[in-house]
Amino acid sequence: MSQPTLPADPDALAEALRATGYLPDEGLATAAYLALVMRRPLFLEGEAGVGKTALARALAEVTGRPIYRLQCYEGLEASQALYDWDFGRQLLHLRAAEAAHATGDTQALEASLYDRRFLLARPLLQALEDSPSVLLVDEVDRADDEFEAFLLEVLSDFTISIPELGTIRADVPPLVVLTSNRTREVHDALKRRCLYHWLEHPDFDREVAILRTRLPEVTERLARQVAGATLKLRGLDLLKPPGVAEAMDWASALHALGARELDPDLAARTLGAVLKYREDTDRVQSLAAGALFGG
Amino acid sequence: MAEPGTPGTSGDRGTPPRDVVATVLGFARTLRAAGVPASPDRVEAMLQAIGALDVLDATAVYWAGRLTLCSGPDDLDRYDAAFAAYFAGEAPRMRSAPADQKQVMALSAPLETGTGEGEDDASPDVAGQASADEVLRHRDVAELTLTEREELRRLFALLRPAAPMRASRRRRPSAHGSVHAARTVRRALRDGGEITRLMHRRARPRPRRVVLLIDVSGSMSPYADALLRFAHVAVRARPAVTEVFTIGTRLTRVTRELRLRDPDKALAASGSAIPDWSGGTRLGEVLKAFLDRWGQRGTARGAVVVVCSDGWERGGTELLAEQMARLSRLAHAVVWVNPHKGRAGYEPLTGGMQAALPSLDAFVAGHSLAAFEELTGVIARC
């Protein structure tokens, strides 16, 4: 695989990310750059919808590496995150050998049972085997302590040892991006191995730029109005302040309705794209619509 | 974002590495004084990060440090302040003067003048001690003498908080339960491909999260020390699933401080972290802050939330009622501990209590050690 050379400095990386449609700020570009050159996992925290997962995808595009995503949840086990043996096929293999009366050499038969072709690689193993790659461990705060423990093991030396097969090592450690919505405090031991970055909502200009880049069909005027209204909504102390993802949903909802600019009526009809709590919707609707969505 | 100051100490030309190392180590010390635990391995990572960036660029140094030394949003403000202070040559700002800490500890002294000094130097009679302990267990902590308080602290170590349990998504091998296909086949492979026995698994119970919200306002000050000691015992028993916050005019997370083993050190540490000791109460607002910043994200979800307060609310109680309703929708159970409930003839008449009552699963007293023992039972049964 032809590898694009690594960006020379954070600015070059920011430029490359911009070319893929992801608009990072200075801190995020520095964080991603350091993750690449220091070969340290990048731990991203921030409100939902600020672009944590999108960064991993953009980095994969910039570096030309394949991306492997592991969605975390409580009870996630090694057999879903690392590897598993394909027991069904192993059984079939055994039966086939039996039928062919090839069971003479038991040792050879046993060895053939634990062949690489019966091993099901899960995201962590895939990312190590297909090196160099990008490994996205999404919403790590949803996993439990047991998972954190073996993630720690993999991230500390980028090897996975399989008792029946041997140790699998990545030639180049994958670029690891861990995201967390902070529903719970992730263990310090894990964070210590990572670069930590807290993502903020973008400012007005960058939000407009993001909307324009991601949704080129939306008019400049509409993008500015949506970004402005989203910014005001964030200042309202809502239960769930809208993120960039919601702003994009909103803009494309408005565009789908044929809107070229935001007016109070359209805003009220599409509010479900930005606000996800009834209490928030009630509050915003009770406010003077003109103040929020006018001009 | 705060504009980082310009580095004044690191050399302007050449920058010998030794100079950079000394500067970074000094900065790490400042940062630790500001309350960010910048451990040596993190400092090493910062040096490595600076090496990968431009040493002379203040912004690069700022990011190199922030990305490697901080581990949570709470650290960021402290980092910004420490960075500005250190690289602008200001004296490092401490979070609180040591004199304040002394004051905090003095809170555990009786607020009313103690009288019963005569019985304090009683002979160490074991049987007598046992019955004295028994009496002490039921005494209102607000009415104890200094020595009795010392005694009671010893008894706190005997509290054994049991955690409420919940079923988890993680399964464990078991003799009963649903069939575990992978293990069944793995076993069959061992038996030459013959399925001789079905393997089972079932959900493993896990401790449920317990969140303690402790009112440290003026009206609660006779009980704050005892409540924090109770919290310390709870945190020490289940450090991973217990969270403690103090509420008053502000919300302060003291879980980290209370994880210290020694109760007195833990209390001193959390005391210095709490900026609003014995101030007023803004229950509704602070509860909202808790739910916005922690509760809704996950801390309160499915947890047993214990609010320890007398329910004195200065302002209107609508916000409190609204936030309590929100809390009860998120939490598995909401328990309210009111020290005054232990008094004979107590009626929950304060506006705050009236507002909270409809959202509660349990309403218990918290004025004596016996009441705390009962509370651990209530929490475990939730």
Angle, helix A26-38 to helix B40-52, in steps of 10 degrees: 100
Q: What is the mean pLDDT of chain A?
A: 89
Amino acid at B14: G
Of B59, B71, B181, the CB nearest to A26: B59
Residues from chain A contacting residue B42 (CB–CB below 8 Å): 192
- Give B240's contacts in chain A (Cβ within 8 Å): 145
Q: Which of residues 179-198 of B touch A (CB under 8 A)?
A: 181-182, 185-186, 188-189, 192-193
What residue in A sits closest to B181 (Cα-Cα)?
A87
- A170-174, B117-121, B178-182: range with highest mean pLDDT: A170-174
Runs of H (alpha helix) within chain B: 17-33, 40-52, 58-69, 73-87, 98-106, 126-138, 146-156, 181-190, 221-237, 255-258, 263-273, 283-290, 318-330, 351-356, 369-381
Over 80: is that where the pLDDT of A97 sits? yes
Tell me, what's the pLDDT at B50? 92
Alpha carbon distance B184, B348 (integer Å): 58
- The pLDDT of A147-153, averaged and rounded, is 88
Q: How confident is the model at residue B261 (pLDDT cuts 50, 70, 90)?
A: confident
- Out of B170, B240, B299, the one facing A74 most closely (by C-beta) is B170
Query: Which among A45, A95, A181 has CB closest to B73?
Result: A45
Q: Does the pLDDT of residue B305 top 70, yes or no? A: yes
* Number of residues that make up chain B: 382
CB-based contacts of B359: which residues, under 8 Å, 6+ apart? B321, B324, B325, B327, B328, B334
* Minimal CA separation from B136 to chain A, in Å: 38
B293 near A CB under 8 A: no
Tell whether the model's pLDDT for residue B122 goes beyond 70: no
State the pLDDT at residue B326: 92
**Is A26–B66 a contact, with Cβ atoms under 8 angstroms apart?**
no
C-beta atoms of B182 and A239 within 8 A: no
Mean pLDDT score, B154-182: 84
C-beta atoms surrounding B91 within 10 Å: 8
What's the rounded mean pLDDT across residues B205-212?
92
CB contact (8 A) between residue A38 and residue B171: no
Q: Do B189 and A33 touch (CB under 8 A)?
A: no
Apex A16 CA angle, A11 and A18, nearest 5: 95
A57-93 pLDDT tens trace: 999 999 999 999 999 998 888 889 999 998 888 888 8
Tens-place pLDDT, residues A42-55: 999 988 888 899 99
Identify all chain A residues contacting B292, using CB atoms and an 8 Å cutoff: 237, 239
Instruction: Using CA coordinates, name the residue in chain A closest to B194.
Output: A91
Report whether pLDDT(A40) > 80: yes
Q: Is the pLDDT of residue B210 over 50?
A: yes
Grade residue A106 by pLDDT with cuts at 50, 70 and 90: confident
| Chain A interface includes B49 (CB < 8 A) | yes
Chain B CB contacts of A239 under 8 Å are: 292, 296
Output the 3-class SS for B97-130: CHHHHHHHHHCCCCCCCCCCCHHHHCCCCHHHHH
Contact A74 B70 (CB under 8 A): no
Residue type, B200: H
Q: How confident is the model at residue A295 (pLDDT cuts 50, 70, 90)?
A: very low
Selected residue of A86, A112, A180, A185 to mutate for chain B interface (largest B Cβ count, 10 A): A185
Overall average pLDDT of the B262-289 stretch:
86
All residues of chain B having their beta carbon less than 8 Å from the beta carbon of residue A75 are 168-171
- With H, G, I as helix, E, B as strand and everything else as coil, classify residue A61: helix
Collapse the DSSP code of A75 into the 3-class scheme (helix H, G, I; strand E, B; otherwise coil) and give the result: coil
Judge if ipTM > 0.90: no
